Structure 1
Amino acid sequence: MTRRPVLLAVPVLAAAVLAGAATAAPAVPRAAVAPPLTCEAGVPSPDGRVFPEPAVAPGWLRLVDFACGLAELEEQFPDRVQVTTTGTSAEGHPVYDVLLTDETVKTPKKKLLVVSSIHGDEIGAREGAARAMEDLLDERFLADEPWVEQVLDRYVIHFLFPNPDGWVEGDVAGSEGAGLSWTRGNSGERDLNRNFPVQGWIDAANGTLQEPESQGITKNLLQGKDWYLGTDNHGQLHDTYAAAGLQIVGQFDYQKSETLARFADGITESMAEYPVLQQMHAVGTAINGDVGPYHWGTLYDMLGYSASGSLIDYYNTASTTDGYGFATELTLGKTVAGNTAAWDPVRAQVWVDSIRAINFEMFRQAVDVKRFTFPVGTRTAYVFDPEVVTSKDGEGYEREEGEDLPQQPYSVSRMRFFTDLNKYASQRLTAVRVPEVLTGKRKLGDFQTVVLADDAMPEKGSRSAWVKALEDFVSRGGNLVVTDAAAPVLAELGLVGEGDVEMTEKYVGYVDFGDRGLKLNAGLRGVASQTYDTVPIGYQFGQVTAPNWTVAQEAWEAGGGVTAGTNGEGRTVYGEKKLGKGKVRFLGALLPQPTEEHYHPYGLQSYAVTYTGYTLLQNMLAR
C-alpha cells in the first residue's frame, strides 16, 4: 500500500528534542494569544490550513480556536464531517465528538475511536488530532489517498475530546472560563480517566460515573458492539522516544491481542514517514542508544503501574463495546503549570507528527484486517477445572464504607481462556478431567502436552495416583506445562524440594527474562515483562497482590534445569527441566483464577493474559 506523508517543515535534532525536561527550542511568547488566522474574517492562514502546522501557527490551540476551526471544516466538507457532542462538561463546555465518514456511502459501518487529551494538561494529543482530521478531509493533504477513501467508506471515525474543562484552564484568554494553567482533571478536579465502569477492581475514591463527561460518553457514545480499533492519546514526562505505545490488557482473546500487537509494530514503520521523527531514529542508530521515534509494551512495562477505570479499558471490555483499544504517551507531553502564553513549535511538531503516525496507521490497518492463528506445536490437553467464580453464591467481597455501587452479576473462570483460544488455535486443545484419567476413561498418553493451569488437581481423587499419572506421562516423553498455583506439583514430581516452592506477590504477573536466545524466549516483542494484568480479574493495584509462583533457582537448575526468566529477585519463575524422556515447563505467573477479595461492583473478567503471556504459552506448547 503506497503511503504519502503529510509534508512537514521543521527538521530538528532528536537529541535536542529529547534532552531532559527542557524543550528543544526556546519558548516563544504567543502574540496577544491570537486565534487561528482562518477564524479572522478575510485573513488567510499562513500555510492555507484551517489548523496551521506548528511551524507557522501562532500558538497552542485554545478551546475557542478549536470550535472555530471545527465550524470551518464542517462548512468546507459537509458530506464528510459532522460536529456533535456527547454532552457538556462539569463547567458547561461542550464535550466534542467529531465524526468523519463519507456520508454518501449509506451501507452499515463500524466505528473507530480517537480519544484526545482526557487529561487536560496533556495537550499534544488534541494538537495532533486537529491536524489529522484536516489531513483526512482535504485533497491537498491525504483525502484522495485510497486508504483514506476506504476508511471513510467503511467506518465512522469518532474524534473525542473528553476534557474541555482541563483544556480551558490553560487558555489564558478568549475561551469562556479561561484560566492560567491547564489541569489534569475537570473543573471538579476529577481524573476522568479513572471514572469509567470497568469490570474488575474499582477504587471507590474515583467516583465512578459521577461526572457528566463520563456519563455522557458511556450513555451517548460507547454503546453497542459495532466498534473496532481505537486509540487513547496522552502525554508523559521525559522519555528518549517521541512516543510510547501502551497495550492495554483485559480479557483479550488471541485475535484481539495480536491485532493490537500488529498495530503497535506498524506504528514504528509509520513513524518513519515524518522527517522530524526520522531524525530521532537516525540519532538512536548513530549512537546505538535507547533513542528513537517509538517503542511499546503494556502500561506496566512502559510506565511501571496499572490503572482502574480508564476510558480505553471500558472501551475494550468484551461485555460492553468490545473495542480494540490502544493507548499512547507523547514525550514531554505533560505540561506542568503550562498555558498558551509559552509556545513551543518544535515540540508541537513532534507531537502532531506522532499523532498522525499513530492514528493513520490505525486507519490503514482498519481497512486491512488480518486473522491470526495461535500455533499449537503439539497435541495438547488442558486439565479442566469446573469451579466458577460467581456472584450467585453469596460468597463475594465484604464491602467497606463508601463502596456502595450496585453489584453487577458475574460468572467467570480461567477456563474461558482455553475456550477462547480454541477459536484461533492451529489444532484444538482438549479438555480432560481428573476423574476421567484416574478411572482410565482418558489416557494422558494420547497427548504430547498436558497443561496444568493454576491448580495441579482441580477435582477430587487420589492425589498420589494423579501425580503418578503425570510422572508417567512425562517420563515416557510427554511435555507437562505447569502454571501459577499448580507449582507445588513440581516438588511432588521430585524436580525440587517442597521448601523450594513459594508464592510471592508482585504488582502484576512478571518475568525478568534472561537469555533471549533460548527457545522458551523466542518471539518476545516490545518491552516485555508483564504476563498478566491484575485489575480485570479482581486484584487491587497499588498494593502488591498479584500471585507469582517461583522456585529456588539453584534447586531448579540442579540436574540440568533451565531458567528462562526470574522474578527479579533470584528465583525461577519461568523455565524447563527434564524428567525421564520428557520435560516439565513452568511459568509461575500466567493464568490465576479471578479473585473476589477486592471491590468489583461491575463484575470480573475471566483472564487478563498479555501479548507476552501468549508468546510464552506458545513456546511452552512447542515441541
Structure 2
Amino acid sequence: MTDDSTQFDDAPISRRQFVRLSAATGGALALPGAAGATVTDERFGATYQYALNHTPEGYAVPTLVEFSDPSGVAAFEALDVGEAVHTTTEPTPAAYAKLTTAEARQVADLPTAETFSHSPGANPFWRLGYYPFGVFPEATRSVDFIDFDENLRGIRELESRHPDRMDAFVIGTGHGKYNYLSDRTDPREVLVVEVTNDVDDREAFEDKQKVMFSGSVHGDERAGTEACSRFIENLLRGEEPETATLLDDLALIFAYPNPDGWTARRPQYDSYGVPGATLHERGNYGGDTNRQFPIPGWIDPSHKPAEPLGTGLDGDSEPPDYVVEEVPDALDFVEHFREYENLTHGADFHGMLASEYFTQGLESHVQSTNDEHHDLAEMNRRIDDALTEEIDSWQTAGETQRALTGEFNPSVFGLSAVPEEAYDYSPSWEGIGYSGTGYMKDWMSQPEEWGCLDMTMMTMEMIYSNIAGGNVYDQARVDAQVRAYRTSIREIADHASTDVETEIETDGETLGYVTTDALTRTSDDLSFLDSDGRTVVNEEEYGTDVAASDRETVSFDVESGRHSMTVHPHAEPQGDHPVAGLADAALIAPDGEVVRDFELVSEDRVGGECCGMVTWNVTDPQAGEWTLVVANRFEAPTRLVARVSTMGTEGGGPNPDPVDAVGYQQRAYESSPFQYFEDLAGELDTDPVAYTVEEVARGEVSTDHLVVIHDDGRNDDAYLDALDTYVESGGNLVLTDTAANLLPALDSDLAAGVTADDVENRGRTYREPDRSDDENAYYVAHIGERNDDHPLLADSLDSQQLLWHIAGLGYATNKAPMTLVDREAFAATDAGVASVAGTTSGLVSAGSRTRAADDATGIHFVGSLLPPAHQREIHPFGMMSYGMTFFGHIVLMNTMGFEQVRTVDGEVVKRFGWDDFAVEVEDPLDLDFDRETDAPVYTAGQTTQQTITATTDDAGDAASDGRVADTVPDSWNVVEDYGDVAGVERLENGRQRVVFESVADGDVTYFAEAPDGLGSTGRYEFGPVEVDVDGEWRSVGGTGGTISVVGVGI
C-alpha cells in the first residue's frame, strides 16, 4: 500500500542511480494521472496497478508476486529482472523485487504468477506474515524504510507473541491524505505501544514509572520510528537484557504520531502537494505537527494548538472546529498522554540535515527547578558517553552520505560529511539555530497545573534523517542512526530508574533578593477583557518556482495597523526533482530595510527549523508591499511557498483576543520571576530571604548576598544609599536585567565609572510598555563571546550561551530584552578590579567588579536572566514565571560562589562551581571610535568604504601604534591592496579580523566587497572595533554597524 517510489535499493546505490531515479520520479509525477504506461491485469492488486500506471516507464515499484507452486520462483529467478530481489518458498512461493512496468509485464507472463501486490517496507515478505530475519529486520538486512502498514501489522505480530509484556492500541487518527485511487480521504491510525512485565495488570501498570518515546512527529524524519520498532522487538526477544531487568517497575511507552506524514510516500497520495511524489512529508494536514501543542506562553497565531479541554479550557466545551478538522491526531495525542500517571522521562526523536554532531539533544524550553536542570543534564551526560563509544558507526554513516547524495552532501556547503563529534546537547537555539513555540517536548515538560506532563523530556536530532536527498534508504547510514537512537532509548530508560538529586552548598552563606510588584503579570492585566474590540487573523499563501541555483522574489501587501506578522518561507519538491530545496532568504520591508534574513549554512550546520528554512515574526509590520527573496542553493529546481499570517486588533487595545486569534479563551495566571527564588527554598542551607525596596532602604538586609533583578527604587536616595552601604560593608551585590541601570546611581567605589549613557537597554523593558519590541532586541538573550576562564562561567559547557527561554514567558523571537554595559566603562572602576565574563554585541553581558582579583565579593552583573513575562503576544494557555536555562542557573550560582553537588543514587558524580575565585584584571582604556560608512544599503558585489576614527586620545594612540582592527562578516571580500589594511585574519566564529597599519592621525580606512552569490541579500554586522591589549584583542562597545545588501534584480 505504499509507494517507495523513487529509488532505493537494499544496498547502497550509486550517485548516478540516485540522481537518475529521483529526477524520473519527480518529473513524471508532477500532475495527477501522469503515467509511463497503461497496464491492466486481474492479478494486479488495485494499489499495485495504480502505482504502475502513475509512475514513469523506468520507475521500479516494490512488488510482491505470489506463485501457484515453487516452480514459479525458479522461473522468476531465470528472468533476471528487478532490483533488490528476494525469493522464498515459505509460507508460500513468492518473490519480492522492485519492478519497472516492462519487467512487471514479463513476470505477468509467467503462468504460475497468481497475484501482484504493492509491497513497500523494510521486510520484503511482511505481507505474507513471514519474518525470517525478524519482524523488523536490522537495517542492514532491510530493503527500505519501515512502511506504515508494515509497522501496524508487525506491532500486532509482536503483541500476539508477547501478550504478557506488550499492549498495542490505536488512540485516534490523523485527518488523512486524499486518496486519488479511491477518491476519498484516508484517516490513518495513531498507534501507541506499551511494554512492561504483566502489562495487563492495569492497577500495577498505573503505579509503575513510565518512560515515553515518540518516533515520527515529523514524517520525513525516519530515524526515530526505525529505531523504536526495532528496539521493541529486540527487547521482547531478549536482546536488551539491561532494559529487560527494569520492566518489573518501569513501563516503556512508544508513540507513532503523524500518520499523514508517514503515509504521504504512497503513490495514491500527494506529498508536498505533488500527487504520487512518493516522499515522506514533514507535517500533518494542519501543518507542522510539532508546532501544535498547547504550551504556556507565546502561541504563534499561524499554528493550530490542539487542546482537548475545549475552547473554554474547562473540559466541558469542544475544541475549535478547525482544530478538530485539521489536527485530530495532535488532539488525540494530548488527551491520551494526560491519562498516564508517573510519566517521568522521555525523548521525541527527530532528524536534521547536516551538522558537526551525529546526534543532538535539545533541551526543553521550560520553567525548570534546580533538580530538574540536573536531572536532564545527567541524562544527557549518559547519552553523550554512550554514543561517543559508537564513533566508528557514525563516521561510517557520514562517508555513506557523501557517496550517496552528491549535490545534497553538506560538503558542498563547506561542512564535512563526516560529523566531528557523536553528541551534543543544548537548547534549540544553541544547537540548531532557532527557537519557537508549540513543541511536543515543551508541552510534555511543563508543570501539570498548566495542562502539561511535568516530564524530564527533550528532542533528539539525527543527522541525515530528513527530506533533503529524497528520503534515500541506505543500509549503513540507517543502521548507524538506529543504533544511536536505540542506545539513547536504553540510556534514558536506565537513567529514569536512578535517583538524581542536587544540593546547593552555600558554606553557611545566605541569599536575599529584592522584590517589586512591578514585575508581576496576571491575566487580569489583558486589555481585551474590558474591550469590545476584535482580533482579526489573515492567512495567505504565495508561491513561485525557483530554478536551480537561481533567485526569485515574492511580494505581498500588509495593511496598516497590524499587530504582528508571521512569515514562513518553505521550499517544496518541484519540477524534475522530488526533494525539498534549501535556500537563503531575506524579508524586505516596504521602506527597503532588510528586517529578517536567513543564511542556510552556518559554522556547524546546514538548514533551519523546517525543511532547511525558518519562520520569522515581525511586530508592528509596516503597511505596504513586502518582499521575500529566496536564493536556491541547490542545482535543482524547488518550489517556494510563503505562508504569511498577519494579526490585528480593531479597537481592542494592545492585547489580541486569543478567542478570535486561535479559538481558545484565556487561562487565568499570575507570573512573577521571583518564583525562581521561592523554588530555591529547600535547595539551600537557608531559604532565600525576600526584601522589599522599602526594607532595603531601612537597612534591614542581613544576608551575605543580595540579588536585584529590576531598577525599581532607582530614584529613591535611601534605597541607593542602603545598597552602597551594603557593598561597602562587605556584602556581595548581584545585578541582573534592568538592575544594571542602578550602577550609574550608586556611589560605592565599586560602582563608580559607569554613567547612564554607558548602560543600554536593548528591547522593551518593563517600564516602557509603548516601546517597540524590535528596538535593538535580540532573537534570544545570550552571551555572545565567552571568557571561558572567568569564574562566573565555571563548569558550564563551552557551547552554552543562552540565558533564558523566550516562548514560555510570552516573548516571540527577536523580542528578547537585555541590559548591557559599555566594556570600557565597566572596566573603569575606582576601586577593586573589573573582569568581563562575556560580551554581547561588544558590550558587557556578564562581569564582575570585585574587591580584589582573588576576592569573589563585590558587584556582579548579568545582562538578562529573570525578565518579567511579556503579554503582548497571544498566550491563551497561561504563562511561565521564569525560564532560566541551566547555563543561566550556573552563572547566577557562580556569582555567589554556591556549589551545586549532583548525586546519582547517593553517589556524587559532579560538582559545579569555581574552586578558587581568580580573575584577570580588565584594565580600563579610554577608547572610543566612530564608524563612517559611505552608504547604508548596497547591491550584491558593491564595495563599501569603512572609516574608523579615534575620538579619544588613547584611541588615537592605539590606532597610531597599529593595534586596532575591525571585524567583518566572513562572506565579504576585504580589498587588501587599498586603504590601511595590514592583514586579514580568519576567526573561528565565522568572521574575519581586519588589522590596520599604523596611522598617525588615528583614522583608518578599508574597503570590502559585498558577497555576490545568490544568498547575498540580508543584513550584515560590521564591528565592533578591536584593540590589541598586551596580545589580547579586546572589543570596544558601541562601535558596530549594520549594512544591508539587496541582490541584483530584486
What TM bracket, shorter-length normalisation?
0.7 to 0.9
The answer to whether the 8 Å contact 1:223/1:321 transfers is no
Equivalent position SS for 1:111: strand
C-alpha distance in 1 between matches for 2:304 and 2:421 = 38
C-alpha distance in 1 between matches for 2:860 and 2:397 = 38
Equivalent position SS for 1:260: helix
C-alpha distance in 2 between matches for 1:367 and 1:276 = 29
1:48-71 Cα shifts (integer Å, max 9, x gaps) = 322111111121111011112101
C-alpha distance in 1 between matches for 2:352 and 2:798 = 18
- Out of 823, 828, 831, the residue aligned to residue 558 of structure 1 is 828
- Out of 503, 520, 524, the residue aligned to residue 792 of structure 2 is 520
Displacement of 1:570 in angstroms is 0.5
C-alpha distance in 2 between matches for 1:526 and 1:172 = 47
Q: Which residue does 2:992 correspond to in 1?
A: none
Equivalent position SS for 2:726: helix
1:426-467 Cα shifts (integer Å, max 9, x gaps) = 442221222223335x2x2x2221000234549xxx711111
Q: Which residue does 1:436 correspond to in 2?
A: 695
Q: Which residue does 2:708 correspond to in 1?
A: 452
Structure of greater Rg: 2
Matched, 1:267 2:412: no
Equivalent position SS for 1:326: strand
Q: Which residue does 1:500 correspond to in 2?
A: 758
Q: Which aligned pairs between 1:53-72 and structure 2 lie closer than 5 A?
A: 53-72=138-157
Give, as a single letter, the amino acid of the residue that structure 2 aligns with 1:497: T
Q: Which aligned pairs between 1:177-192 and structure 2 lie closer than 5 A?
A: 180-186=278-284, 188=285, 190-192=287-289
Give, as a single letter, the amino acid of the residue that structure 1 aligns with 2:343: W
Equivalent position SS for 1:573: strand
Q: Which residue does 2:209 correspond to in 1?
A: 110
Displacement of 1:370 in angstroms is 0.9
The answer to whether the 8 Å contact 1:121/1:338 transfers is no
C-alpha distance in 2 between matches for 1:133 and 1:566 = 48
1:266-292 Cα shifts (integer Å, max 9, x gaps) = 111121454644757999xxx9x9712
Q: Which residue does 2:16 correspond to in 1?
A: none
Equivalent position SS for 2:213: strand
Q: Which residue does 2:446 correspond to in 1?
A: 317
Equivalent position SS for 2:453: coil
Matched, 1:398 2:655: yes
- Out of 292, 303, 309, the residue aligned to residue 195 of structure 1 is 292
Q: Which residue does 1:7 correspond to in 2?
A: none
Q: Which aligned pairs between 1:234-249 and structure 2 lie closer than 5 A?
A: 234-249=350-365
Matched, 1:369 2:499: yes
Give, as a single letter, the amino acid of the residue that structure 2 aligns with 1:448: D
The answer to whether the 8 Å contact 1:171/1:178 transfers is yes
C-alpha distance in 2 between matches for 1:42 and 1:65 = 10
Q: Which residue does 1:256 correspond to in 2?
A: 372
C-alpha distance in 2 between matches for 1:171 and 1:528 = 42
Displacement of 1:517 in angstroms is 1.7
Q: Which moved more, 1:209-218 or 1:164-173?
A: 164-173
1:189-227 Cα shifts (integer Å, max 9, x gaps) = 511111111100001111222110111011222346632
Give, as a single letter, the amino acid of the residue that structure 2 aligns with 1:437: V
Q: Which residue does 2:1007 correspond to in 1?
A: none
Q: Which residue does 1:589 correspond to in 2?
A: 864
Give, as a single letter, the amino acid of the residue that structure 2 aligns with 1:192: T
Greater RCO (Cα-Cα under 8 Å, separation 6 or more): 1
Matched, 1:356 2:486: yes
Displacement of 1:343 in angstroms is 2.4
C-alpha distance in 2 between matches for 1:438 and 1:345 = 70
Q: Which residue does 1:411 correspond to in 2?
A: 670
The answer to whether the 8 Å contact 1:54/1:348 transfers is yes
Displacement of 1:374 in angstroms is 3.0
Q: Which residue does 1:15 correspond to in 2?
A: none
Q: Which residue does 2:437 correspond to in 1?
A: 308
Equivalent position SS for 1:61: coil
C-alpha distance in 2 between matches for 1:360 and 1:525 = 25
C-alpha distance in 2 between matches for 1:420 and 1:178 = 54
The answer to whether the 8 Å contact 2:526/2:871 transfers is no
Equivalent position SS for 1:428: coil
The answer to whether the 8 Å contact 2:224/2:482 transfers is yes
The answer to whether the 8 Å contact 1:123/1:335 transfers is no
Are residues 42 and 238 of structure 1, via their aligned partners in 2, closer, same or farther at CA, if it must alter by over 3 Å? closer
Are residues 455 and 421 of structure 1, via their aligned partners in 2, closer, same or farther at CA, if it must alter by over 3 Å? farther
Q: Which moved more, 1:254-263 or 1:219-228?
A: 219-228
C-alpha distance in 2 between matches for 1:245 and 1:475 = 45
Give, as a single letter, the amino acid of the residue that structure 2 aligns with 1:421: L
C-alpha distance in 1 between matches for 2:744 and 2:843 = 15
Q: Which residue does 1:384 correspond to in 2?
A: 515
1:472-504 Cα shifts (integer Å, max 9, x gaps) = 111222110001011101111234111000112
Q: RMSD value over aligned CA atoms?
A: 3.0
C-alpha distance in 2 between matches for 1:526 and 1:264 = 16
Q: Which residue does 2:897 correspond to in 1?
A: 622
The answer to whether the 8 Å contact 1:374/1:421 transfers is no
Equivalent position SS for 2:734: strand
Q: Which aligned pairs between 1:289-304 and structure 2 lie closer than 5 A?
A: 291-304=420-433
Equivalent position SS for 2:212: strand
Displacement of 1:264 in angstroms is 1.1
Give aligned-pair identity as a percent: 26
Q: Which aligned pairs between 1:76-115 and structure 2 lie closer than 5 A?
A: 76-91=161-176, 92-103=187-198, 107=204, 108-115=207-214
Matched length: 578
Judging by fraction of residues, say which structure has more strand: 2
Are residues 368 and 453 of structure 1, via their aligned partners in 2, closer, same or farther at CA, if it must alter by over 3 Å? same
Judging by fraction of residues, say which structure has more helix: 1
C-alpha distance in 2 between matches for 1:456 and 1:621 = 22
Displacement of 1:128 in angstroms is 1.0
Q: Which residue does 1:484 correspond to in 2?
A: 737
Q: Which residue does 2:806 correspond to in 1?
A: 534
Q: Which residue does 2:230 correspond to in 1?
A: 131
Q: TM-score, normalised by structure 1?
A: 0.87
C-alpha distance in 1 between matches for 2:504 and 2:711 = 24
Q: Which residue does 1:18 correspond to in 2?
A: none
Displacement of 1:173 in angstroms is 7.9
Q: Which moved more, 1:90-99 or 1:374-383?
A: 374-383
Q: Which residue does 1:6 correspond to in 2?
A: none
Matched, 1:52 2:137: yes
Equivalent position SS for 2:214: strand
The answer to whether the 8 Å contact 2:428/2:435 transfers is yes
Displacement of 1:310 in angstroms is 1.2
Q: Which residue does 2:815 correspond to in 1?
A: 545
C-alpha distance in 2 between matches for 1:480 and 1:449 = 6
Give, as a single letter, the amino acid of the residue that structure 2 aligns with 1:392: D
Q: Which residue does 2:577 correspond to in 1?
A: none
- Out of 134, 149, 158, the residue aligned to residue 245 of structure 2 is 149
Are residues 551 and 280 of structure 1, via their aligned partners in 2, closer, same or farther at CA, if it must alter by over 3 Å? farther
The answer to whether the 8 Å contact 1:115/1:232 transfers is yes
1:542-572 Cα shifts (integer Å, max 9, x gaps) = xx111111000111112332110011x1000
Structure 2 residue runs of 5 or longer lacking an equivalent are 1-9, 13-21, 23-59, 61-81, 85-96, 99-118, 177-186, 307-322, 400-415, 529-653, 747-751, 763-776, 899-1050
Equivalent position SS for 1:198: coil
Q: Which aligned pairs between 1:219-238 and structure 2 lie closer than 5 A?
A: 219-223=335-339, 226-238=342-354
The answer to whether the 8 Å contact 2:300/2:874 transfers is yes
The answer to whether the 8 Å contact 1:295/1:526 transfers is no
Give, as a single letter, the amino acid of the residue that structure 2 aligns with 1:159: F
Are residues 278 and 124 of structure 1, via their aligned partners in 2, closer, same or farther at CA, if it must alter by over 3 Å? closer
Give, as a single letter, the amino acid of the residue that structure 2 aligns with 1:501: V
C-alpha distance in 2 between matches for 1:290 and 1:575 = 34
Are residues 564 and 34 of structure 1, via their aligned partners in 2, closer, same or farther at CA, if it must alter by over 3 Å? same
Q: Which residue does 1:3 correspond to in 2?
A: none
- Out of 100, 105, 126, the residue aligned to residue 39 of structure 1 is 126
Equivalent position SS for 1:616: helix
1:212-270 Cα shifts (integer Å, max 9, x gaps) = 01110112223466320110111111012211110112111111111111111111112
The answer to whether the 8 Å contact 1:456/1:487 transfers is no
